[in-house]
């Protein structure tokens, strides 16, 4: 990419070379792993670029528009934790699958963020209320769930968004801001039986509900239900096995169920049908419900709201597509 001197070009992968001549600079970025077309990204403008290496050895490249204004400090406080988060996620999902990691925050009016491969696109609006590390966790989790292992068809979007959202729940546990169980209970109690939230089937939401909040939140509920049904040992082995066995390939929900049943030794047909393919609120004693006592209430108690709840929900504002 050839840009006027003073501007930079930010893209996927690793910066192989840059050279200037006659007032222009040529940037040569290269991504050396398979990449879905919608995960390609290119930004041209004036950026402050930071580089480093995570403790686990992953090269990190982040970039911030020089005119972010009030969002600049919060964006940096969040995105500069990329290396830490990549290493932490590797403990759940296996080794980081690409040659570099990072993100960029341009000064654009977009309201959503997107898991563009190795170089996440973050909307400045993600940081308008202050530091938001949860959105960084969500988009980096996609590097395993959605980027390294891509969907075979869009109806299986749960494999992307459900697991990226659940990574936020795991981060909440890590930060002592609410366990995944507490978040699941609060999510369930926040949506009464007649809430349209339950009419969206995360396993096949249809084109009109592709990025409905239910795909994210009910999708994460399904993962917590899976955790409760198979136990932590099998559950965390499943989380590592999918990105490892399917790396740089594609997968479907049916493929994931087969893997989960193989590792757990359990028939999970009822659980998947209840949580992913039924357009109604599962009962608290349904297959794999794994809900605590707080979830039995028809209405969520504000006093029981996990500390991480606001940031997690902020990530989903604007029906963000990533």
Whole-number Å distance between alpha carbons of 296 and 195 = 15
Whole-number Å distance between alpha carbons of 293 and 298 = 12
User: What are the tens digits of pLDDT across the range 135-184?
Assistant: 999 999 999 999 999 999 999 999 999 999 999 999 999 999 999 999 99
Per-residue pLDDT, 286: 53
The two tokens of residue 306 are: 């996990």
SS (H, E, C) the chain: CEEECCCEEEECCEEEEEEEECCEEEEEEECCCCCCHHHCCEEEECEEEEEEECCCCCEEEEEEECCCHHHHHHHHHHHCCHHHHHHHHHHHHCCCCCCCEEEEECCCCCCCCECCCCCEECCHHHHCCCCCHHHHHHHHHCCCECCCEEECCHHHCHHHHHHHHHHHHHHHHHCCCCCHHHHHHHHHHCCCCCCHHHHCCCCCCCHHHCCCHHHHHHHHHHHHHHHHHHCHHHHHHHHHHHHHHCCCEEECHHHHHHHHHHHHCCCCHHHHHHHHCCCCCCCCCCCCCCCCHHHHCCCCCHHHCCCCHHHHHHHHCCCCCC
CB neighbours of residue 141 within 10 Å: 27
CA-to-CA separations, 208 to 21, 125, 211, 222, 227, in angstroms, rounded: 49, 24, 8, 21, 29
Contact between residue 35 and residue 43 where contact means Cβ atoms under 8 Å apart: no
Q: Say how many residues make up the chain.
A: 322
Q: Which structural domains are found in the chain, ordered by start? A: 2-144 (3.30.2010.30), 150-316 (1.10.390.10)
Per-residue pLDDT, 306: 95
Ranges under pLDDT 50 in the chain = 287-288, 293-298, 318-322
Spatial neighbors of 320 by CB under 8 A, at least 6 apart, are 111, 112, 113, 114, 123, 211
Per-residue pLDDT, 1: 87
């Amino acid at each position: 990419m050839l840009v006027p001197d003073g501007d930079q070009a930010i893209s996927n992968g690793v910066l192989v070379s840059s050279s200037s001549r006659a007032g222009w600079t040529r940037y040569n970025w290269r991504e050396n792993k398979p990449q879905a077309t919608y995960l390609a990204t290119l930004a041209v403008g004036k950026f402050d670029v930071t580089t480093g290496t995570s403790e686990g050895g992953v090269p990190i490249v982040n970039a911030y528009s020089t005119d972010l204004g009030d969002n600049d400090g919060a964006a940096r406080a969040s995105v500069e934790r990329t290396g830490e988060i990549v290493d932490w996620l590797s403990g759940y999902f296996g080794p980081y699958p690409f040659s570099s990691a990072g993100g960029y925050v341009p000064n654009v009016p977009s309201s959503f963020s997107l898991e563009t491969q190795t170089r996440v696109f973050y909307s400045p609006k993600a940081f308008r209320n202050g530091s938001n590390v949860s959105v960084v966790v969500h988009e980096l989790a996609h590097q395993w769930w959605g980027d390294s292992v891509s969907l075979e068809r869009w109806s299986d979007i749960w494999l992307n968004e459900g697991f990226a959202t659940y990574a936020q729940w795991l981060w909440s546990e890590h930060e002592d801001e609410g366990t995944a169980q507490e978040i699941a209970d609060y999510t369930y109690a926040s949506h009464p039986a007649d809430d349209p939230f339950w009419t969206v089937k995360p396993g096949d939401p249809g084109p009109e509900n592709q990025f409905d909040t239910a795909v994210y939140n009910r999708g994460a509920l399904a993962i917590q239900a899976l955790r409760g049904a198979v136990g932590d040992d099998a559950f965390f082995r499943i989380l590592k096995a999918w990105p490892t066995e399917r790396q740089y390939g594609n997968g479907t929900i049916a493929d994931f169920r087969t893997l989960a049943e193989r590792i757990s030794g359990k028939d999970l047909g009822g659980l998947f049908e209840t949580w992913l393919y039924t357009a109604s609120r599962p009962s608290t004693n349904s297959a794999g419900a794994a809900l605590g006592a707080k979830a039995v209430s028809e209405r969520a108690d504000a006093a029981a709201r996990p500390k991480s709840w606001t940031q997690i929900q902020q990530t989903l504002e604007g029906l963000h597509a990533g």
